[in-house]
C-alpha cells in the first residue's frame, strides 16, 4: 500500500461509492449549511444502515440475556451472539472461535493481555518492547506494569518518514524481552509496520507479540494465522460497528494459561465460599452481561465489509490516499507528517505556523470534519518536535470530491489566517 505510486483501478476493483454512501444515513446530512465531508475515520467510522437496523431489531424484537436462558428470546440472542464470534474468527483467520474474546475495545484488550498474560511472567530486570509510534493505549498499561514489577520499557525509534528502525528493533530484542507490543498500523502517521518480519524475529527468540490492530483491521486483510501473532486487538467502532465493543484474539494455549482480568457472572463454572472454578475460554474473560447488541451488530458490520471485498476497499482507499497526498503536497507551506512508503488511509499535516485546532475549526465551518491534536500519540509528536497535527483519515465511502473539498477548505484557512 503506497501513497505515491498507485496504479489505476480496473473496473473489477472499483467500488460503487455512490451506492455505498447511500447506505450511510449520516453522510447525507448538512453541517453549517454545507454537505458533510467526513474525514475523521481513524477516530471512528460511520455506520451503515445494515448495522443500525440490526441494533434496532435486537432491542425491538429479541432483547434478552444470553447463555443461561431457556426461553426463545434468550436462545435466539445466544445464537446471534455466538454467530458473530464465528464471523469475527473467520474475518481475521483465527483457528478456533474460542480464540475470540469480546471486550469493550482495543484499550481493554491490551490491558487484559498486560494484566493476565504478561504480569504473572514479568520479573525485575525483564523488558517490554514497544515502538515510538504507539497510541497511548499501548504505552500506559506497559508503563504501569513495568513500574510495578521493576521491569524496563524499551522503545524502538522511528525515522523522519515515520518508519520503524528495524536494526534498532533487532538490537533491543534480547533474552530479557518478555513481550513485543506494537501497532499494526499507526493512527497518527498511517504507517503500516512490517509485522511479519517483527513477529518472525520475536518468535525466533521465544518472545510473544501483541498487535494493536485498531487501525489496520478496517483497511486491510488481516489473517492472524498467517501472521502467527500471539494476540491481536481491534475495536468495533472503527470497523463500521457500534462503540463499546472490541475483540481480543489470542492463541488458545495463551488464553488457557491466563487468569481472568475481571470476575463476576458468566465467567465462572461454579462458586462456593471456599473455591471458584473459572469457565472455559473465551468465557472466563467475559464477565457480566456483555454488549450483546454490539456484538451482533459488529457481526453485521463485518458482513457489510465482506460484501464489498477487502481487496477492493484497500484499492479504493489507496487511490484516494494517493490523490490526497499529491494535492496536499502541492499546497505552499503544508508539511505532511508520516510519509512512509507503506502506509494507508491517514493524511496528517501542518500548515505553516497555523495551529491545527484553528485549521479544524475553519474546516468545520465548511462542513469538513477532520481530527486535530496529538491523537493520543504524544511521543509521536515529540519525535517530530511538534505539539499537534491536523489529520484527515479515509474510509471506503470517501471520494476525490472529499479531498477537493479539503484542499479548497485549506486554501480558505490560508486566506483567513495567512
CATH code for position 210: 3.40.640.10
Does residue 148 sit within a domain?
yes
One domain for residues 22 and 149: no
Other CB atoms within 10 Å distance of the CB of residue 414: 18
One domain for residues 262 and 331: no
CATH number, domain containing residue 334: 3.90.1150.10
Instruction: Residue 327: give the domain boundaries.
Output: 17-31+309-417
State how far the Cα of 214 lies from the Cα of 246, in Å rounded to an integer: 9
State how far the Cα of 91 lies from the Cα of 88, in Å rounded to an integer: 5
- Among 306, 332, 355, which residue terminates a domain? 306
CB 113, CB 229: distance < 8 Å: no
One domain for residues 199 and 322: no
Does residue 94 sit within a domain?
yes
One domain for residues 223 and 320: no
One domain for residues 288 and 406: no
- Among 306, 327, 361, which residue terminates a domain? 306
Other CB atoms within 10 Å distance of the CB of residue 170: 14
∠ CA 213-215-219, nearest 5°, is 105
Per-residue pLDDT 10s for the chain (418 aa) are: 444 455 677 777 799 999 999 999 999 999 999 999 999 999 999 999 999 999 999 999 999 999 988 999 999 999 999 999 999 999 999 999 999 999 999 999 999 999 999 999 999 999 999 999 999 999 999 999 999 999 999 999 999 999 999 999 999 999 999 999 999 999 999 999 999 999 999 999 999 999 999 999 999 999 999 999 999 999 999 999 999 999 999 999 999 999 998 988 888 888 989 999 998 999 999 999 999 999 999 999 999 999 999 999 999 999 999 999 999 999 999 999 999 999 999 999 999 999 999 999 999 999 999 999 999 999 999 999 999 999 999 999 999 999 999 999 999 999 999 7
Tally of domains within the chain: 2
CB 189, CB 133: distance < 8 Å: yes
Q: What is the DSSP string of 294-353?
A: HHHHHHHHHHHHHHH-HHHHHHHHHHHHHHHHHHHHTSTTEEES---SSB-SEEEEEETT
Does residue 207 sit within a domain?
yes
- Quick one: 321 exposed, middle or buried, by C-beta within 10 A (0-12, 13-18, 19+)? buried
One domain for residues 290 and 339: no
> What positions carry a catalytic annotation?
376
- Among 306, 340, 374, which residue terminates a domain? 306
One domain for residues 291 and 321: no
Amino acid at each position: 500500500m503506497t501513497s505515491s505510486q498507485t496504479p489505476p483501478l480496473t473496473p473489477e476493483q472499483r467500488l460503487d461509492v455512490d451506492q455505498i454512501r447511500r447506505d450511510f444515513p449520516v453522510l447525507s446530512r448538512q453541517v453549517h449549511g454545507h454537505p458533510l465531508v467526513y474525514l475523521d475515520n481513524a477516530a471512528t467510522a460511520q455506520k451503515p444502515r445494515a448495522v443500525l437496523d440490526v441494533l434496532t431489531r435486537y432491542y425491538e424484537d429479541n432483547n434478552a440475556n444470553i447463555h443461561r436462558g431457556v426461553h426463545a428470546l434468550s436462545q435466539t440472542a445466544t445464537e446471534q451472539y455466538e454467530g458473530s464470534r464465528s464471523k469475527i474468527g473467520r474475518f481475521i483467520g483465527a483457528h478456533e472461535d474460542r480464540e475470540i474474546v469480546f471486550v469493550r475495545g482495543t484499550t481493554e484488550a491490551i490491558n487484559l493481555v498486560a494484566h493476565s498474560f504478561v504480569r504473572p511472567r514479568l520479573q525485575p530486570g525483564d523488558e517490554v518492547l514497544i515502538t515510538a509510534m504507539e497510541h497511548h493505549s499501548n504505552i500506559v498499561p506497559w508503563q504501569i506494569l513495568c513500574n510495578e514489577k521493576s521491569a524496563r520499557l524499551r522503545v524502538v525509534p522511528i525515522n523522519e518518514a515515520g518508519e520503524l528502525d528495524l536494526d534498532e528493533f533487532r538490537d533491543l530484542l534480547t533474552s530479557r524481552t518478555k513481550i513485543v507490543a506494537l501497532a499494526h498500523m499507526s493512527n497518527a502517521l498511517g504507517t503500516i509496520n512490517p509485522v511479519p518480519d517483527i513477529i518472525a524475529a520475536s518468535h525466533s527468540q521465544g518472545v510473544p507479540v501483541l498487535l494493536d490492530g485498531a487501525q489496520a483491521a478496517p483497511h486491510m486483510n488481516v489473517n492472524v494465522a498467517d501472521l502467527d501473532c500471539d494476540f491481536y486487538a481491534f475495536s468495533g467502532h472503527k470497523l463500521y460497528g457500534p462503540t463499546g465493543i472490541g475483540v481480543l484474539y489470542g492463541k488458545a494455549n495463551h488464553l488457557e494459561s491466563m487468569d481472568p482480568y475481571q470476575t463476576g457472572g458468566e465467567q465462572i463454572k461454579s462458586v462456593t465460599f471456599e473455591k471458584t472454578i473459572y469457565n472455559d475460554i473465551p468465557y472466563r474473560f467475559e464477565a457480566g452481561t456483555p454488549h450483546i447488541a454490539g456484538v451482533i451488530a459488529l457481526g453485521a458490520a463485518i458482513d457489510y465489509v465482506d460484501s464489498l471485498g477487502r481487496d477492493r476497499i484497500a484499492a479504493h482507499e489507496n487511490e484516494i490516499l494517493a490523490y490526497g497526498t499529491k494535492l496536499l503536497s502541492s499546497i505552499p507551506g503544508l508539511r505532511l507528517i508520516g510519509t512512509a512508503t507503506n502506509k494507508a488511509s491517514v493524511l496528517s499535516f501542518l500548515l505553516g505556523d497555523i495551529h491545527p485546532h484553528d485549521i479544524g475549526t475553519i474546516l468545520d465551518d465548511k462542513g469538513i470534519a477532520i481530527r486535530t491534536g496529538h491523537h493520543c500519540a504524544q511521543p509521536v509528536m515529540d519525535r517530530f518536535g511538534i505539539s499537534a497535527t491536523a489529520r484527515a483519515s479515509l474510509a471506503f465511502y470517501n471520494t476525490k470530491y472529499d479531498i477537493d473539498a479539503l484542499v479548497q477548505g485549506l486554501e480558505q484557512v490560508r486566506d483567513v489566517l495567512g
